[in-house]
Amino acid sequence: MRVYFYGPKTEKDKLNDNYEIVLKVLKNAQLDVFSNLKPTSLPQEISEMEKMGKLALDGMDALIIDGSSSDSKVGYLVAYAISQKKPALYLYERGSEQDILKYLVSKNIPDTLVIKNYLKNNLEKSVIDFLKSIKGHEIREVPKIKFTLRITPTIEKYLNFKTLNTNKSKADFLREYIEKMMKLDDEFEKYLKKSG
């Protein structure tokens, strides 16, 4: 999945730190990330789209826009996302001025646009929740919880057999297997929807 992240250039260290958090989440989710904040070369198919007069943004699957700082491009990107019906996350730091929100009345905001205010401690969760909400795209979460599991020698032989001649560790194999089970578990899906 290709994601474009836009953060207005700023001298504020706090905002630059927030931008780094967003970029880190996108990288950890193993997405193709493009941003005004880092130099990057566009994939050949997007470069060819530009040669045909289309925008590089047309090749993106989703946009994430930080509107915590005033910038004319923020409004353009929000309008672009709405007009193209692209999934977009509009982020703004809690307490920052939000001129653009004056023009977006809640009944006029399409389902494809998610607006979230954030504090540094919930920014990562806001981005992950948005990425998970995009239909047709799977997002890989970064394992953070350490878990100790005691297994039998037979199970270890099985895990060694399954990971032999692969680049996977036993932990990665088990994690992927559990993720497959989760996808097939309808009751777990219902539980997730209820718990939000």
- CATH number of 26's domain: 3.40.50.450
Domain count, the chain: 2
Residues 111 and 173 in one domain: no
Q: Looking at the domain assignment, is residue 158 inside a domain?
A: yes
Q: Looking at the domain assignment, is residue 71 inside a domain?
A: yes
Domain carrying residue 54: 2-133
Structure confidence at residue 100 (pLDDT): 67
Q: Looking at the domain assignment, is residue 138 inside a domain?
A: no
pTM: 0.68
Residues 84 and 114 in one domain: yes
Measured distance CA(7)–CA(67) in Å, rounded: 7
Mean pLDDT of the chain: 82
Structure confidence at residue 52 (pLDDT): 55
Q: Are 163 and 173 in contact (CB under 8 A)?
A: yes
Q: Report pLDDT digits (tens) over 113-155.
A: 888 889 888 998 899 888 888 866 666 666 778 888 899 999 9
Q: Looking at the domain assignment, is residue 148 inside a domain?
A: no
Residues 24 and 87 in one domain: yes
Handedness of CA 95, 100, 103, 108 (dihedral sign): negative
Structure confidence at residue 191 (pLDDT): 84
Q: Looking at the domain assignment, is residue 142 inside a domain?
A: no
Could you tell me how many helices (H) and strands (E) the chain has, helices first? Answer: 8, 5
Q: Report pLDDT digits (tens) over 80-109.
A: 898 888 999 999 888 776 666 666 666 667
